[in-house]
């Protein structure tokens, strides 16, 4: 297939260039789709075919649901010198906001949408190769993606990701996984590729390393088991605490795993231990953000301290922690409060915005949430602070709990034995489900909305 498109300038184009697929050996398996391997030759042919169809533009929202289709679209946009826009969700409002913020952009996806975003291009990977095509080259300074924060603590913010710096951060993830797997490995992810965690673990790894990825995003235990069996060993499961908790509770037997990786929310040590016992694999928790990408890891079942990736330096300061890392053009300040150890590791002490001080006493929302989840009968829950203050000038603590067989009064009684009365949630409301995003995060606006029609309990 002949390449008939012309790449556009995208960010800084001087300096080093690198291939959109680092290992383009024709028979190398890039992905597994419908139980069949997709080779590098097939992948590059699909990228070439889509790149030729893309309209002129500066950027596109990548809405593909199939992970292989997302991978093809991601690489095709790079080949055309266009930027992948990754809004905090695929909801129409979030997509429209991203398009409006980037004039000349459009949307690309693999499913029919009704209504569809403006200038929506739908495609389906052909998944067969008729000829060898050149491997697109991308400048290290090219603006590969703009990832938006989740909005769990406010308004989503855009973060620019350049190709060469993504390669640096991906190399650290690959080195960690490679040590766990003992060599090349396959990834199955329960998180969407549009999220920075999903992008790092299921899109960048197969592009920059010798990794193959499953095209699906299974959520239920039986579907995860079925998808894992479609992958050859060694297998790495990339997931979240919410999905891992459901998987452990289902007691679904899984094929052998080299490792389980978790992120997007704190992983309770008891859950990590339960997962290691049930599935016979180490559970690695990774720590990072949309702003920084992954910067540290730990085996949560056994250690509290985090081990930074090589070259990462943390500097505690009053408003959080300043992070320096090879993949960052300049330091980033995170709201997380850390305590450095003499051996270079660190402990998380909560987020600056999560730390509470009421009546001269201190607590953290994260610790209060852990105590809520420890109450018998509570399947899911969250403790958070209201935005507005009461007549005494105090912003009250609220909680939402998913506990089908319990009453709010029973849960509050159990909490009285575990936390100081000044931090007892009022209101505490039982709900059918929490408004979690695809990665398990809880947008503050959605939590407040659940409280609106309720009366204080």
Cα 411 → chain centroid: 31
Residues 305 and 341: beta-carbon distance below 8 Å: yes
pLDDT score recorded for residue 310:
96
CA distance between the termini of the chain: 66
| Cα pseudo-dihedral 217, 220, 226, 229, rounded to 10 | 70
Cα 361 → chain centroid: 34
Distance CA 434, CA 192 (A): 19
Distance CA 413, CA 411 (A): 5
Q: What is the mean pLDDT of residues 286-308?
A: 96
Fold of 1-303: Rossmann fold (3.40.50)
Q: What is the mean pLDDT of residues 378-393?
A: 79
Q: What is the mean pLDDT of residues 117-122?
A: 91
Distance CA 40, CA 35 (A): 16
Give the confidence band of 13 by pLDDT, cuts at 50, 70, 90. very low
Closest among 168, 214, 210, 171 to 191, alpha carbons compared: 214
Distance CA 71, CA 93 (A): 24
pLDDT score recorded for residue 393:
61
| Cα pseudo-dihedral 122, 125, 131, 132, rounded to 10 | 100
In order of 123, 166, 242, the CA distances from 87 in angstroms are 20, 18, 21
Place of tokens 């605490």: 241
In the predicted structure, residue 6 carries a pLDDT above the cut 90 = no
Q: What is the mean pLDDT of residues 368-397?
A: 82
Give the confidence band of 457 by pLDDT, cuts at 50, 70, 90. very low
Beta-bridge partners for 189: 238
Helix (H, G, I), strand (E, B) or coil at 6: coil
Residues 162 and 144: beta-carbon distance below 8 Å: yes
**Summary mean pLDDT of the chain:** 89
Distance CA 48, CA 445 (A): 41
Distance CA 405, CA 377 (A): 7
pLDDT score recorded for residue 453:
57
* Range list for CATH 3.30.300.30 in the chain: 359-451
Q: What is the mean pLDDT of residues 358-367?
A: 72
Q: What angle do CA 37, 43, 48 make, to 5 degrees?
A: 160
In the predicted structure, residue 2 carries a pLDDT above the cut 60 = no
* Range list for CATH 3.40.50.12780 in the chain: 1-303
Residues 212 and 187: beta-carbon distance below 8 Å: yes
Distance CA 86, CA 241 (A): 22
Q: 207-216, 315-324, 382-391: lowest mean pLDDT where?
A: 382-391
In the predicted structure, residue 217 carries a pLDDT above the cut 60 = yes
- Specify the length of the chain in residues: 457
pLDDT score recorded for residue 115:
86
pLDDT score recorded for residue 346:
96
Please state whether 9 falls in left (phi above 0), alpha (psi between -120 and 50) or beta. beta
Distance CA 442, CA 204 (A): 26
Closest among 384, 375, 357 to 448, alpha carbons compared: 384
Percent of the chain with pLDDT over 70: 90
Give the confidence band of 456 by pLDDT, cuts at 50, 70, 90. very low
Place of tokens 């890039």: 30
Residues 262 and 271: beta-carbon distance below 8 Å: no
pLDDT score recorded for residue 401:
92
Cα 1 → chain centroid: 35
Distance CA 121, CA 110 (A): 8
Segment 124-173, tens digit of pLDDT: 998 677 678 899 999 999 999 999 886 555 567 899 999 999 999 999 99
Q: What is the mean pLDDT of residues 358-363?
A: 66
Closest among 89, 108, 99 to 47, alpha carbons compared: 108
The pTM (predicted TM-score) of the whole model is 0.83
pLDDT score recorded for residue 455:
40
357's enclosing H/E stretch is strand 355-358
CATH class of this structure's domain 359-451: alpha beta
Classify burial at 376, counting beta carbons within 10 Å of its beta carbon; exposed 0-12, middle 13-18, buried 19 or more. exposed
In the predicted structure, residue 345 carries a pLDDT above the cut 50 = yes
Q: What is the mean pLDDT of residues 63-89?
A: 95
Q: DSSP assignment of 301-337, as one string?
A: TT-SSBEEPTT-EEEEETTEEEEE-TT-SS-EEESEE
Distance CA 185, CA 180 (A): 9
């Amino acid at each position: 297939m002949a390449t008939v498109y012309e790449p556009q300038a995208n960010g800084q184009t001087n300096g080093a260039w690198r291939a959109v697929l680092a290992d383009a050996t024709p028979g190398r398996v890039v992905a597994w789709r419908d139980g069949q391997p997709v080779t590098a030759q097939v992948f590059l042919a699909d990228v070439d075919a889509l790149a030729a169809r893309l309209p002129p533009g500066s950027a596109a929202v990548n809405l593909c649901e199939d992970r292989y289709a997302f991978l093809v679209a991601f690489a095709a946009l790079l080949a055309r010198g266009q930027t992948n826009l990754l809004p905090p969700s695929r909801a129409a409002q979030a997509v429209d906001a991203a398009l409006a913020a980037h004039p000349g952009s459009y949307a690309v996806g693999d499913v029919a949408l009704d209504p569809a975003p403006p200038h929506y291009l739908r495609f389906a990977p052909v998944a067969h190769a008729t000829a060898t095509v050149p491997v697109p080259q991308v400048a290290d300074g090219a603006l590969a993606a703009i990832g938006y924060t989740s909005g769990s603590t406010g308004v989503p913010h855009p973060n620019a990701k350049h190709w060469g710096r993504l390669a640096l951060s991906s190399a650290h993830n690959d080195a960690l996984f490679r040590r766990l797997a003992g060599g090349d490995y396959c990834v199955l992810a329960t998180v969407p590729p549009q999220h920075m965690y999903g992008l790092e673990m299921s899109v960048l790894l197969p592009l920059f390393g010798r990794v193959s990825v499953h095209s699906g995003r299974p959520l239920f235990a039986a579907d995860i088991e079925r998808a894992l069996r479609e992958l050859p060993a060694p297998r790495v499961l990339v997931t979240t605490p919410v999905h891992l908790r459901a998987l452990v509770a289902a007691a679904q037997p899984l094929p052998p795993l080299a490792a389980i990786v978790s992120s997007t929310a704190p992983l309770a040590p008891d859950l990590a231990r339960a997962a290691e016992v049930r599935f016979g694999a180490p559970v690695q928790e990774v720590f990072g953000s949309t702003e920084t990408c992954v910067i540290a890891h730990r085996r949560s079942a056994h250690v509290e301290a985090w081990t930074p990736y090589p070259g990462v330096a943390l500097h505690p300061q009053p408003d959080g922690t300043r992070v320096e890392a090879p993949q960052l053009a300049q330091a980033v300040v995170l709201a997380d409060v850390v305590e450095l150890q003499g051996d270079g590791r660190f402990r998380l002490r909560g987020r600056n915005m999560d730390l509470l001080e009421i009546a001269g006493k201190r607590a953290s929302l994260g610790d209060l949430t852990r105590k809520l989840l420890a109450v018998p009968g509570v399947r899911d829950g969250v403790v958070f602070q209201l935005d507005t203050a009461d007549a005494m000038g105090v912003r009250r603590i609220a909680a939402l709990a998913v506990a089908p067989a319990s009453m709010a009064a029973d849960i509050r009684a159990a909490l009285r034995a575990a936390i100081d009365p000044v931090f007892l949630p009022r209101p505490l409301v039982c709900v059918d489900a929490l408004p979690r995003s695809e990665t398990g995060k809880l947008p503050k606006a959605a939590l407040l909305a659940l409280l609106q029609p309720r009366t204080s309990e």
